[in-house]
């Protein structure tokens, strides 16, 4: 009986902690971008921009759904190696690693929800674009494709 009460208490504590974290979520500004494939395809997305330390830390945590043409783009300021993870993220995600010119330098497909595995960039990047898992495959996105957005210089 004691073990059962302890388990219930632990579950309640986790639920309270999760609810507290969800209540203190930060907001994000929306923006439009296009992913242009080497084959000439143009795919528009409405993304949320993660720029502040709080936004970068939160990302898409605690989201249970996202529109097919939506995503989140992280700005790391200057190009550098970055690592991502899926802690508290409920959706499978594709991650596009992007250099300062907007060129996709790497793609990690279908990151596993809740995973603590580290997902690293293939080299220095300025940004990471997160899309619904399977989007890269569905649209035929590849390394070398370009992301058009004011954050990137040409």
Tell me the two tokens of residue 24.
Answer: 């203190």
pTM of the model: 0.84
pLDDT for residue 51: 96
Query: For the chain, which residues make up each domain, given as ranges?
Result: 27-148
Model pLDDT for residues 84-135, shown as the tens digit of each residue? 999 999 999 999 999 999 999 999 999 999 999 999 999 999 999 999 999 9
d(CA 13, CA 52): 29
Q: Give CA separation, 120 vs 45, 81, 86, in Å.
A: 23, 7, 12
In which order are the strands placed within the sheet that holds 42-50?
104-111, 93-98, 125-132, 70-80, 42-50, 29-36, 146-148
pLDDT for residue 93: 98
Query: Has residue 17 got a pLDDT over 60?
Result: no
Average pLDDT, the chain: 88
- The CATH architecture annotation of domain 27-148 reads Sandwich (2.60)
What is the pLDDT confidence band of residue 14, given thresholds at 50, 70 and 90?
very low
């Amino acid at each position: 009986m004691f073990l059962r009460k302890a388990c219930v208490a632990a579950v309640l504590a986790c639920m309270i902690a999760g609810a507290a974290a969800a209540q203190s979520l930060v907001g994000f500004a929306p923006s439009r971008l296009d992913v242009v494939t080497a084959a000439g395809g143009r795919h528009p997305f409405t993304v949320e921009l993660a720029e502040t330390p709080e936004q970068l830390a939160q990302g898409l945590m605690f989201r249970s759904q996202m529109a097919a043409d939506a995503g989140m783009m992280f700005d790391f300021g200057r190009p550098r190696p970055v690592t991502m993870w899926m802690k508290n993220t409920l959706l499978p995600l594709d991650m596009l690693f992007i250099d300062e010119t907007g060129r996709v330098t790497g793609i990690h497909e279908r990151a596993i929800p809740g995973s603590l595995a580290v997902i690293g960039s293939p080299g220095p990047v300025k940004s990471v674009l997160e899309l619904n898992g399977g989007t890269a495959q569905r649209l035929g996105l590849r390394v070398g494709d370009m992301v058009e957005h004011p954050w990137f210089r040409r």
